């Protein structure tokens, strides 16, 4: 019986063990099946999420460093270049993870070399949740090397560029400058920002956990290379012009000054300078009133410098001729008395231009329709933007009225009531020097002379040119003479407009061109509000014109003038003698 019971228990134990084994095997099989199914689901049916998680930990996007395009003058002289510098940045999370702030001595050294307050420096990295903060940008390579040797955890360097201007204040107004992110904010830097800017190419790479690149995947975004910009400016003339204008501004105690020099043949601007100026390499001394390019942003009443244009309109419409002798004694109109600074009893058109007679021009203007004068101003480019694309350019103002009083028309005849920029006035004289052909203005170097547009008969233009030569020979513009060359030009002395009328200050101007026999350069010099012993345009602006024009003619090897045209000399002989007889300085 005992033997039978033992056999029965043994069979029962074996059955339980087998059942437990099969149950365990079932669980293992189910688990394995689930793992296989899950693996298949992740890797075959829905692999994107797993791939995304892996890519987030290993894939990075990087960009090639790119520099801004270079700005040069017409001869390749550098006016704006990008130089390599470094930016210091920090990863606060990394700093706190390494307990980096405990190294007080190293952080004090960092604050000292960056010129920062220690408390402000450490407070900027106090938030451990932040991953990026600039400590300072555009530091020199020497400072960057010093910081690298400090080996502060979480403090890194990154390459960037800084704009440098070799010509400094000389070309600051024209070239302009950029902000800390290398975006143009003034001058041609802003006007041609898209042309000068580059877009870095972006690449996708894979890194391991130590930050090493283990795979270059490919280009994510194609970059755009920067373009260089070649200006029409001749930096040699630019330097001479700035030095001369700065001296004239200081010696005459003037508020400001502007000078524009143009090539008559091509319409290119060879020099454009203003005072006061600023150093674009020193951002700390930047002041908006110094950064203004007054040659294109500021407008002035041109005064007598537009008398030649009014005279050409009068000749074109037949209201006078070179033989007519007019009464040039003071007269009253609209309750105002028109007077001259150079008095003469009578005079022809030659004398009126030579001695800058307001009275004579007022008589001519009163004979004309207003739109004859304003229309001719517009044809010469006054009251219109130049088309150079320079930022902040003013279009000036040509008065347009349905009704004109006699005094308004009379004063328009000698340059009051309208406003022009120095660049516009220079272009107008370039058109006159070009025998009445107006060419487009360019601040970029051109490969060939552009086609121009005729705006006045060539014979009328030549007659006025010879009259303006008399202004420099023995008229109001004697100080603008250049030895060895025949110069034609016109002085201008206009009162500064104030609220409700005119103040006591003046704007002295000289506008002209040379050489008369074959005009090459046109120039305008403006001295604004001189407070020295002189204020007439011929006295304050004439010497600067002579100095810069002489340098330009010699630098470009322009031969001395031929003798004056005998026909032009005969035309003006009678008026010259009459002018010398009647003209007296007041």
Note the residue count of the chain. Answer: 586
pLDDT of residue 422: 96
Residue entry with tokens 């793992």: 35
For 226-245, letters b (16+ CB in 10 Å) and e give: beebbbbbbbbbbbbbbebb
CA distance 313 to 319: 9
> Which residues are known to be catalytic?
304
E strand or H helix that includes residue 146: helix 141-150
How does strand 71-72 pair with strand 229-230?
parallel
Between CA 205 and CA 214, with CA 209 as vertex, the angle to 5 degrees is 35
- Supply the pLDDT for residue 213: 65
Structure tokens at 225: 């290379």
Q: Can you give the pLDDT at residue 581?
A: 45
Structure tokens at 327: 């009464």
Phi, psi of 133 (to 5 degrees): -155, 130
Q: So what's the pLDDT on residue 497?
A: 81
Q: Give every residue of the chain whose pLDDT is below 70, as ranges.
A: 1-16, 46-65, 201-203, 205-221, 223, 562-586
Domains and CATH numbers, the chain: 62-230 (3.90.1310.10), 235-585 (3.40.710.10)
Token pair for residue 403?
Answer: 């009704």
How high is the pLDDT of residue 209? 62
pTM of the model: 0.82
In the chain, what is the straight-line distance between the N-terminal and C-terminal CA atoms, in Å?
160
**Cα–Cα distance for residue pair 374/478, rounded to 1 Å:** 29
Strands 521-528 vs 501-514: parallel, antiparallel or unpaired: antiparallel
Residue/partner pairs of 444-452 with CB below 8 Å, 24 or more apart: 444/229, 444/230, 444/231, 444/232, 444/268, 445/74, 445/230, 445/231, 445/232, 445/268, 446/232, 446/266, 446/267, 446/268, 448/266, 449/265, 449/266, 449/267, 450/266, 450/267, 452/267
Give yes or no for a contact between 269 and 443, defined as CB atoms under 8 angstroms apart.
Answer: yes
DSSP category for residue 178: B
């Amino acid at each position: 019986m005992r033997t039978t019971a033992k056999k029965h228990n043994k069979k029962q134990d074996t059955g339980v063990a087998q059942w437990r084994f099969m149950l365990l095997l079932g669980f293992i099989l189910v688990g394995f099946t689930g793992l296989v199914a899950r693996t298949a689901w992740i890797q075959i049916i829905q692999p994107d999420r797993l791939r995304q998680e892996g890519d987030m930990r290993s894939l990075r996007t990087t960009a090639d460093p790119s520099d801004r395009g270079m700005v040069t003058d017409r001869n390749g002289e550098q006016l704006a270049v990008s130089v390599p510098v470094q930016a210091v940045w920090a990863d606060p999370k990394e700093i706190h993870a390494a307990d980096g702030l405990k190294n007080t001595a190293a952080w004090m050294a960092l604050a000292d070399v960056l010129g920062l307050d220690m408390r402000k420096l450490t407070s900027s990295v106090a938030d451990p949740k932040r991953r990026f903060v600039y400590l300072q940008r555009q530091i020199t390579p020497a400072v960057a090397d010093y910081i690298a040797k400090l080996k502060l955890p979480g403090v890194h360097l990154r390459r960037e560029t800084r704009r440098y201007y070799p010509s400094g204040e000389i070309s600051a107004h024209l070239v302009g400058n950029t902000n800390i992110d290398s975006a143009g904010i003034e001058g041609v830097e802003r006007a041609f920002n898209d042309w000068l800017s580059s877009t870095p190419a972006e690449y996708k790479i894979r890194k391991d956990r130590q930050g090493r690149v283990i795979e270059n995947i490919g280009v994510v975004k194609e970059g755009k290379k920067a373009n260089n910009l070649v200006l029409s400016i001749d930096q040699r003339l630019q330097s001479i012009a700035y030095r001369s204008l700065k001296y004239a501004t200081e010696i005459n105690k003037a508020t400001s000054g502007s000078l524009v020099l143009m090539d008559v043949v091509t319409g290119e601007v060879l020099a454009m300078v203003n005072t006061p100026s600023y150093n674009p390499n020193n951002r700390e001394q930047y002041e908006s009133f110094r950064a203004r390019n007054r040659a294109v942003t500021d407008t002035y009443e041109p005064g007598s410098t537009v008398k030649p244009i009014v005279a050409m309109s009068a000749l074109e419409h037949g209201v006078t001729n070179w033989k007519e002798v007019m009464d040039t004694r003071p007269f009253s109109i609209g309750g105002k008395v028109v007077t001259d600074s150079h008095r003469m009893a009578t005079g022809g058109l030659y004398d009126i231009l030579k001695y800058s007679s307001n009275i004579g021009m007022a008589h001519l203007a009163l004979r004309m329709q207003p739109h004859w004068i304003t229309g001719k101003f517009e044809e010469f480019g006054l009251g219109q933007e130049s088309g150079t694309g320079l930022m902040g350019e003013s279009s000036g103002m040509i008065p347009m009225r349905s009704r004109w009083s006699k005094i308004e028309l009379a004063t328009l005849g000698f340059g009051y009531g309208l406003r022009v920029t120095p660049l516009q006035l220079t272009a107008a004289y370039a058109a006159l020097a070009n025998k009445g052909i107006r060419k487009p203005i360019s601040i970029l170097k051109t490969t060939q002379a552009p086609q121009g547009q005729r705006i006045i008969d060539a014979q009328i233009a030549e007659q006025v040119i010879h009259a303006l030569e008399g202004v420099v020979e023995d008229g109001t513009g004697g100080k603008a003479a250049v030895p060895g060359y025949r110069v034609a030009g016109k002085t201008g002395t206009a009162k500064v407009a104030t609220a409700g009328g005119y103040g006591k200050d003046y704007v002295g101007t000289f506008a002209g061109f040379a050489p008369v026999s074959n005009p090459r350069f046109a120039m305008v010099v403006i001295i604004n509000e001189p407070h020295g012993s002189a204020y007439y345009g011929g006295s304050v602006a004439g010497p600067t014109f002579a100095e810069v024009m002489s340098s330009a003619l010699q630098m470009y090897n322009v031969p001395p003038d031929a003798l004056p045209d005998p026909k032009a000399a005969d035309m003006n002989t009678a008026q010259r003698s009459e002018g010398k007889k009647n003209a007296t300085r007041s």
